[in-house]
Amino acid sequence: MIDPSTLANVILGLIQAVLTLLVAPLLLGITKRVKARLQYRNGPPILQPYRDLAKWWRKESVESDAASALTTVAPALVVAAVFVATLLVPIVGQRPPLEGWGDLLVVVGLMALGRFVLAVSALDAGSAFGGMGSSREVAIATFVEPALLLALVGAALAAGSTDLGAIAALGVASGIAWYTPAVLLAAGAFAIVAVAETGHEPVDNPDTHLELTMIHEGMLLEASGPRLAIFTYAAELKLVLVAGLFAAVFLPVGMAQDLMPLSVLVAVGAALAKLVGAAVVLGVLDASLAKLRILALPGLLATASIVAVIGLATRLWLPA
């Protein structure tokens, strides 16, 4: 007989896993739909991403004859890294499905793993676009990662723990008091880098295949069939991850602690609401913002780091 809290955690974890896996393409659809509407277009149906994935999945796989075995395994590695990362973030339940397997630093590390594999495999075919996308991805990441860490560390200090479950729990417990200046500034910083991390305007344009502008799509240019499907799915899953991470740390509301049907329902609803909200916001951004020149990005992203640092400073230097 295993103790109920563990059981609850396992079940909530399963629910979260299924939910995230199912909902990921939907978010992309929503984003695109919102963007289209704001541009007075009809836009694709919300479920289009599912159809795309299915279509690609059925196609044969076409690889470059210059490519090595890496090309074949890369997609699997990327999606695995991202998915495992989501399992370390409490989205439905208040404790992460894989509680005790890793903290926010591990989440960041897994994101880096995914980025590494993707960027390397983009060089495999020897296409100029792959190199371009890859180099841009890693260059931008050099500004994203510090900001991300600083923002999360701000929250971690507030909670006295880097464990996302603990952070979320403290957030829930302290209610409105959670939103100290430090945490608010950290949230701001995180929001900025989240856009970059998920590849939306003003950093990247998910719809373009114009070599001058594309970043993420550039890396996928040589991918086709099931590999393209997996890469795209990984990208969609990453949006869930980032949104979930943001929600867990800076918007910890409505998460379930037990298996009471009501609380589970509330939790699922809340989770969905947060994710969809994120998708909508991104859509709005896509529609309303122009893409920044790639040389102007450091300005934006460095701002995030600075905001985060100010957050830390307020935590240290302001009388608590």
Partner 1 sequence: MSIASAFGGAGSGPLLVAIAVVLALATVAAVAPRSRVNPASLSLALSGLACIGIFVLGVIVLASGTPVVASAGDVLGFALIDVRYDALAALFLVALGVAGAASSVYGIGYQAHGGAGADRSAAAYPVFLASLFLVFGADDAFAFLFAWELMALSSALLVVGSRPTADVARAGYLYLALTHLATAALIVAFAILASAAGATGFSSFGPAAVGLSSTTRDVLFVLLLVGFATKAGAIPFHVWLPRAHPVAPSHVSALMSGVMIKVGIYGIVRFGLEILGPGPEWWGLLVLGIGVASAVLGVLYALMEHDLKRLLAFHSIENIGIILIGVGVAILAVADGATAVAGVALTAALFHTLNHALFKSVLFLAAGSVQSAVGSRDLNVLGGLARAMPVTAIAFGVGAAAISGLPPLNGFASEWLTFQSLIGAGGDRALSLVARSAVLLAVGGLGLTAALAVACFVKATGMTFLALPRSRGAAGAHETGRLMGAAMASLAIACIAVGIAAGPVSAAIGAVADGLVGQGSTPATAIGPAAVGVPVVGIDAVYAAGRLAVLLGGIAGLTWLVAMRRRTTRRVPTWTTGIAPEPAFEYTATSYAKLIRLYFGPILRPAREVSVELHPGTPFPRTVRYRGEVSHVLDERLYRPLHRGAVGAAQLVRRLQSGSLQLYLAYSVAALIGLLLVARS
Q: Which of residues 128-147 bind partner 1 (CB under 8 A)?
A: 128, 130-132, 134-136, 138-139, 141-146
Applying the rule CB under 8 A, the residues between 59 and 88 that interact with partner 1 are 60-70, 72-73, 75-77, 79-81, 83-84
Cβ nearer to partner 1, comparing 104 with 268? 104
φ/ψ of 58, rounded to 5, equals -75, -25
Residue 166, number of CB atoms within 10 A of its CB: 18
Residue 260 C-beta: closest distance to partner 1, Å? 27
| Nearest distance, CB of residue 269 and partner 1, angstroms | 28
Footprint of partner 1 on 273-302 (CB under 8 A)? 294-295, 298
**How far is it, in rounded angstroms, from Cα 160 to Cα 272?**
28
Kindly calculate the radius of gyration of the chain based on its CA atoms and give it in whole angstroms. Answer: 19
- Would you give the DSSP letter of residue 256? B
Our finding on whether 53 is near partner 1 (CB under 8 A) is: no
Q: Does 120 bind partner 1 (CB under 8 A)?
A: yes
Q: Residues, the chain, total?
A: 320
Residues between 212 and 241 with contacts to partner 1, criterion CB under 8 A: 221-222, 225-227, 229-230
Taking the complex as a whole, the smallest distance from the CB of residue 202 to partner 1 amounts, in Å, to 17
Range 153-192, binding partner 1 (CB under 8 A): 153, 156-157, 160-163, 166
Minimum distance, C-beta of residue 25 to partner 1, in the bound complex (Å): 16
Given 7, 39, 101, 288, the residue binding partner 1 (CB under 8 A)? 101
Core vs surface per residue 87-124: b (16+ CB within 10 A) or e: bbbbbbbbbbbbbeebbbebbbebbebbbebbbebbbb
CA distance 50 to 137: 26
Q: If binding means CB under 8 A, how many residues of this protein chain bind partner 1?
A: 86
At its nearest, how many Å lie between partner 1 and the CB of residue 277? Answer: 27
Burial class (CB in 10 A: 0-12, 13-18, 19+), 293: exposed
**From its phi and psi, is residue 163 left (phi > 0), alpha (psi between -120 and 50) or beta?**
beta
Q: Which is nearer to partner 1, 215 or 270 (CB)?
A: 215
Residue 53 identity (one-letter amino acid): L
Nearer to partner 1, 103 or 201 (CB): 103
Q: Per CB under 8 A, does 123 bind partner 1? A: yes
